[in-house]
Amino acid sequence: MIQINTLTYSYPTSPRPALQDVTLHVAAGEFVLIAGESGSGKSTLLRCLNGLVPHFSGGTIGGTVRVNGLDPIALGVTALSRHVGFVLQTPEAQAVLDTVEADIAFGLENAAIPPAEMAARVDEVMALLGLTALRDRQLSTLSGGERQRVAIASALALRPQILALDEPTSQLDPQAAADLLDALVQLNKELGLTIVLVEHRLERVLPYVTRVVWMENGRLLLDAPPREAMSIAPQAPPLQQLGRRLGWSPLPLTVREARKRFGDELGDLRSEVRRTLQARRTLMKVEGVTFGYDKPLLRDVCFTVGEGEAVAVLGSNGSGKSTLLRCLIGLLKVEAGVVEINGRLTTTLETADICREAAYLPQN
Ligand code: ADP
Ligand code: MG
């Protein structure tokens, strides 16, 4: 489906090539993850698939690209749009019209698809991506995850064989990101769609992809199935890092798999971690913290933090993470409950006093 041979490319403004000697062959039905540090060439490589590079970017290009037998360098973006559906990081940048249905139909109108077929295709992709109930909604009223699904539906309405996505989940909260990736897995499995995905949340996609391609400084550093890739990649998610240190082989791709194969070792580790944590002095104690703006938000939040611990507060957008932190350092006064930092009750202290013990960095 994709044949890239010794591809080298430089942007007109930069002396250093953004892609160097990249060779990559992708079969129909594969689900390829492109990973690598920021600036390593992932987006540039993706843009070569539909001719955005070099047709919109200019610059000098060498080597060959074939996508479904077509040459994007010679043919350009319009000719490739029926073969490669493109989805970007920001849904706002891709929407053209203001309702869901109109936006999805827009690309089909441009491609001069007859009205009857157009209606059928729009219905089909809306059903596929769970958008049917949102058909008449204004795009501006949709959540980020819903807007990304509209962007994917718009791309799929042209019935491309390849879907190329550039960090489509980076603006989404964890749940919306997980839902979007589930939708991609379904498209890959059920329609046999070839998917090329740039994504930095590796742990989410590793169980589903057939290959991982790692970019570094414009070069293809490695190209391997996910387990092999994670055993040698410059970075890996925590689970695979743990597996690498403990010499697990083959590396597990999910926690469930790790439990099944290495459950005893994990049990030992867990009790060791628990012993270490229990031995720590409690530095922060949060008990029954309750707070709301116009309606209740934090309800009876309780936890302790030991000396030297690093604690991640997780939750979907609007679940109260930032509010909790603001309560802890006294920027918001709790309605009920207590916060103790280093043995001192802080609920009655001023923020300035609390911040002598606990430094606070806000989101913006
Ligand atoms: P990634 O997607 O992996 O973050 P990019 O493909 O965006 O990497 O960038 C690869 C290299 O090309 C970087 O050195 C970047 O600075 C450069 N680059 C990207 N876009 C442009 C552009 N429009 N003009 C000039 N240089 C660019
Ligand atoms: Mg990029």
Task: Summarize pLDDT for 92-129 with one digit per residue, the tens.
Answer: 777 778 899 999 999 899 888 999 999 999 999 999 88
Instruction: Answer yes or no: is pLDDT of 356 > 80.
Output: yes
Q: Which of 278, 330, 322 is nearest to 304 (CA)?
A: 278
Q: Under a CB-based contact definition with an 8 Å cutoff, are residues 210 and 237 in contact?
A: no
Which atom in ligand 1 lies closest to the alpha carbon of residue 46? 6
Which atom in ligand 1 lies closest to the alpha carbon of residue 218? 10
- Protein residue whose Cα sits closest to atom 16 of ligand 1: 39
Instruction: Answer yes or no: is pLDDT of 52 > 80.
Output: yes
Maximal CA-CA distance, the chain: 73
Q: Which of 174, 128, 161, 136 is nearest to 313 (CA)?
A: 174
pLDDT of residue 210: 95
Angle between helices 100-110 and 144-157 (to 10 degrees): 30
- Protein residue whose Cα sits closest to atom 5 of ligand 1: 41
Lowest mean pLDDT among 15-19, 58-62, 127-131, 296-300: 127-131
Q: Which of 280, 324, 271 is nearest to 302 (CA)?
A: 324
Residues whose beta carbons lie less than 5 angstroms from ion ligand 2? 42-43
Q: Of the ligands numbered here, which is closest to the C-alpha atom of 215? A: 1
Lowest mean pLDDT among 6-10, 178-182, 300-304: 178-182
- What sign for the dihedral angle of Cα 175, 176, 177, 183? positive
Rounded mean pLDDT of 263-286? 85
Which atom in ligand 1 lies closest to the alpha carbon of residue 44? 6
Using omega within 30 degrees of 0 as the cis cutoff, is the peptide bond preceding 114 cis?
no
- Write down the residue that tokens 């080298």 correspond to: 8
Ligand 1 center from residue 12 Cα (angstroms): 11
- Protein residue whose Cα sits closest to atom 27 of ligand 1: 11
Ligand 2 center from residue 40 Cα (angstroms): 8
- Protein residue whose Cα sits closest to atom 26 of ligand 1: 11
Rounded mean pLDDT of 296-301? 95
- Protein residue whose Cα sits closest to atom 24 of ligand 1: 11
- Protein residue whose Cα sits closest to atom 25 of ligand 1: 11
DSSP 3-state of 216: strand
Q: Of the ligands numbered here, which is closest to the C-alpha atom of 37? A: 1
Rounded mean pLDDT of 85-93? 82
Q: What pTM was computed for the model?
A: 0.79
**C-alpha span between 165 and 160 (Å, rounded):** 13
Ligand 1 center from residue 73 Cα (angstroms): 18
Ligand 2 center from residue 201 Cα (angstroms): 13
Give the model confidence (pLDDT) of 301-324 as tens digits.
Answer: 999 999 888 899 988 778 899 999
Amino acid in position 30: E
7, 9, 10, 11, best to mutate for ligand 1 pocket (most atoms within 8 Å of CB)? 11
User: Given the DSSP bridges, would you call strands 60-67 and 31-36 parallel, antiparallel or unpaired?
Assistant: unpaired
Ligand 2 center from residue 357 Cα (angstroms): 39
Ligand 2 center from residue 38 Cα (angstroms): 6
- At 16, is the pLDDT very low, low, confident or very high (cuts 50, 70, 90)? very high
**C-alpha span between 357 and 329 (Å, rounded):** 9
**C-alpha span between 7 and 23 (Å, rounded):** 7
- At 254, is the pLDDT very low, low, confident or very high (cuts 50, 70, 90)? very high
Instruction: Answer yes or no: is pLDDT of 338 > 90.
Output: yes
Q: Which of 99, 174, 90 is nearest to 142 (CA)?
A: 99
Residues lining ligand 1, judged by CB closer than 6 Å? 11, 13-14, 18, 36, 38-44, 57, 215
Mean pLDDT of the chain: 92
Q: What is the DSSP string of 281-294?
A: PEEEEEEEEEEESS
Ligand 1 center from residue 232 Cα (angstroms): 25
Do you know the residue count of the chain?
Answer: 364
pLDDT of residue 114: 94
- Protein residue whose Cα sits closest to atom 13 of ligand 1: 39
Ligand 2 center from residue 84 Cα (angstroms): 18
**C-alpha span between 136 and 149 (Å, rounded):** 15
**C-alpha span between 39 and 42 (Å, rounded):** 7
